[in-house]
Amino acid sequence: MRTKDIDKQHRIKEALIRLILREGMSGASISKIAREAGVSPATIYVYYASKDEMLADIFQEYAHQSYHYLMGRVRPEMDGAELIDALVRGYFSYSVEHEEVFSFVEQCSRCPTLAPQVSQEECCCEVFDLLHQYQDRGQVRRCSDPNLAALLFSPVRFLAMNQPGPDPDAQLTELVEMLQDLLLL
């Protein structure tokens, strides 16, 4: 059995992301991914059993990375308003700083054939656990996790993907204030 090489696996991940962003899900065949990564197609199967498994694994890794980034911006002493501000601005910053990864995760999360294998809700359970704590304290309005995700993250995705005008901070501030009005008790 061949041994795994971290550098090759990293090149495969980067190649997959570039191809999907350039050609879409259907354009990213194993042979194209291998060619883009500078490895043989057989090498890909050392790391992943199938293209779908590869997509799901890499999606999970990068979705976890984005939510770990968010949790790094949160401090225990924050009140509900500060928490919403940190989550919104953190998600926007991550999406701008890691544009390709962010776009890849977005594309995977909307792919009907991958839906059973990828779930952002599973990746951001720490964020939801934190929001539940604020709900239990009576600082954040109770609503379902899918609605919380839609309210907090969908508008940020829209701003990130449609790059706000010359003053993105003003638009983020407006969004934060709107979400605070909606979600805080």
Q: Domain ranges in the chain?
A: 1-47, 51-183
Instruction: Count the Cβ atoms, other than its own, within 10 Å of residue 43.
Output: 18
pLDDT of residue 63: 84
Residue 115 has φ and ψ, to the nearest 5°, of -45, -45
CA distance linking residue 157 with residue 67, whole number of Å? 14
Per CATH, the homologous superfamily of domain 1-47 is Homeodomain-like (1.10.10.60)
Q: Span 51-183: which CATH code?
A: 1.10.357.10
Q: Provide mean pLDDT across the span 34-54.
A: 92
Please check whether the two domains, 1-47 and 51-183, share a CATH topology.
Answer: no
**pTM, entire model:** 0.84
The predicted pLDDT at position 164 comes to: 63
Distance CA 7, CA 15 (A): 12
Summarised one tens digit per residue, pLDDT across range 75-100 is: 989 999 999 999 999 999 999 899 99
Rounded to 5 degrees, φ, ψ at 8 are -65, -40
- pLDDT tens digits, residue range 110-156? 777 776 666 655 667 888 999 999 999 999 999 999 899 899 999 99
Residue spans of alpha helices (H) in 24-142: 30-37, 41-47, 51-71, 80-97, 99-109, 120-123, 125-136
